[in-house]
């Protein structure tokens, strides 16, 4: 699968991207809220600064045209950048369903073979 700029996207990094796209599609949010909501899936965000890693992924999604952002200065406290999915982001998310189903089938095969080892 290729992103909006024609770069090939491997499933490694794109898993986090897909989860973030799903969360943003469900409800536009700022980075800290997304980091809390992604914990529902027990997805680790690796890197020296976890929030920095998250913001790099969000920045990449924005560069690819899959999400947009705007600063919220209306509420009290520091301004927060809110993210919203684009039409292209929704299309990308829906198109990824085939890859996800294939991956699930591969995991099921792996587990079945692992189960057969346990019978030995």
Asked if 60 and 3 touch (Cβ cutoff 8 Å), the reply is: no
Is residue 52 within 8 A of residue 62, CB to CB? The reply is no
Please tell me what DSSP assigns to residue 67. Answer: E
Q: What is the pLDDT of residues 64-89, one digit of tens each?
A: 999 999 998 888 888 899 999 999 99
Question: Strands, E, within 42-89: which ranges?
Answer: 67-72, 80-85
The 10s digit of each residue's pLDDT in 80-114 is 999 999 999 999 999 999 989 999 999 999 999 99
**Strand 67-72's sheet: what is its strand order?**
29-30, 80-85, 67-72
Q: What is the CA radius of gyration of the chain?
A: 17
State if pTM tops 0.75: yes
């Amino acid at each position: 699968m290729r992103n909006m700029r024609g770069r090939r996207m491997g499933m490694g990094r794109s898993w986090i991207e897909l989860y973030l796209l799903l969360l943003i599609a469900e409800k536009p949010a700022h980075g800290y809220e997304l980091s809390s909501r992604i914990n529902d899936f027990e997805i680790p965000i690796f890197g020296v600064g976890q929030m920095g890693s998250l913001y790099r992924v969000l920045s990449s999604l924005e560069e690819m045209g899959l999400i947009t952002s705007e600063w919220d200065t209306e509420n009290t406290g520091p301004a927060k950048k809110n993210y919203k999915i684009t039409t292209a982001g929704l299309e990308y998310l829906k198109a990824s369903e085939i890859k996800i189903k294939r991956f699930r089938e591969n995991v099921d095969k792996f587990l079945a073979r692992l189960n057969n080892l346990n019978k030995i």
